[in-house]
Amino acid sequence: MTREEIENEILVGLYTEWENHTGGTVYTFFGRLDGVDEEYYTRVALGMERASLIDGVGKSMRCEIRAHGIIEAEARNLVPREKIEKYQYLRYLMLSAAATAFEERPDDEVNAADLISQFSLNDTDFFNNSRFLADAGLLHFSNAWYFRITDLGIEQNRRWALLKSLEAEYAAVADLPPNTRGIQFQSLIARALASEGWNTNEGSRTSYEEMDIFIDKNGAYYLIECKWTNTPISTDATSHLLAKLGRREGVRGILMSMAGFTAGAVTSVQDASHSKIILLFGKGDIEQIINRPSSFDTLVAEKEREFVTRRNALWS
């Protein structure tokens, strides 16, 4: 088994124990794996502990998943989507209630019992996710029933509110007329990237060209073209973007297409790799950015690495 496969087994096992309020050592899951060396398994588990994914590897009685580990398990899709959505709703509900209480009465705390009763919540799910929020530093509990939001929680609540806004806007864009849809799609992408610290400039024009989005951060510059058409993008779009990049030194291109790309478009990007880099983002990539804007930087790094080393234009 690979390191990632072992990590996944541990994450799934500890996530389940977190849900069910059960517990055991990390070696409970080692017994389920065939052909894995125990020393290597221990090194993987200790690495996960150093990364704050889990805690208690060396304890004889109990090893637990940390908040970061829960986030990682959900990001790796090791948990059913409906369960993730249910838990994320609970977390947002708690954080939003605490943020509202803080805005109205900064010294007051939220009563968990009132919140559970008001929204008919499951007690176990509520307290599991309250532990998650406390471990993540987003909520502070004075006891098992009363909590208030932290400064970090206030910032996270703003981010979650933005994500919900992006998701709702994305769902609405599909029903717009083509011209309006393109403008709104462009704006949606710019807002998502701005939330991750990218400087964004939308709809820039010169005397001879127009650019959808220009972004930069930490000395990296990208020109983004956003396309929401009914058919895959052809070589016309890649040629236009290459022409714009040819007039700019040190700028890389990103072509986003909800309908994907023709084989010719992909080939044209790969053929131009000796002079310019264009990264391709399909519908799957775009939806990942909308649902989790922080994934953009990782996607860019992965796509650039594959493009530079293998001339392979990845997209999904």
- The domains of the chain, with CATH numbers, are 3-75 (1.10.10.10), 81-159 (1.10.10.10), 175-310 (3.40.1350.10)
Give the residue carrying structure tokens 């009465």. Answer: 105
Q: 28: which 2 tokens?
A: 């409970």
pTM: 0.76
* Strand arrangement, sheet containing 146-149: 110-111, 146-149, 139-141
Cβ atoms within 10 Å of 18's Cβ, excluding its own? 21
User: Which tokens hold the place of 303?
Assistant: 């796509």
Q: Is the dihedral of CA 285, 290, 291, 293 positive or negative?
A: positive
Three-class DSSP labels, 130-184: HHHHHHCCCEEECCCCEEEECHHHHHHHHHHHHHHHHHHHHHHHCCCCHHHHHHH
pLDDT tens, N- to C-terminus, the chain (316 residues): 899 999 999 999 999 999 998 888 899 888 888 888 999 999 999 999 999 999 999 876 789 999 999 999 998 999 999 999 999 999 999 999 999 999 999 888 999 999 999 999 999 999 999 999 999 999 999 998 999 999 999 999 998 899 889 999 999 998 899 888 989 999 999 999 999 999 999 877 766 778 899 999 999 999 999 999 999 999 999 999 999 999 889 999 999 999 999 999 999 999 999 899 999 999 999 999 998 898 999 999 999 999 999 999 999 9
Q: Which helix (H) or strand (E) holds 205?
A: strand 199-205
Q: What is the pLDDT of residue 31?
A: 82
Closest CA to 293 of 150, 169, 132: 169
DSSP string for 78-145: -S-HHHHHHHHHHHHHHHHHHHHHHHH-TT--EEHHHHHHHHT--HHHHHHHHHHHHHTTSEEESSSS
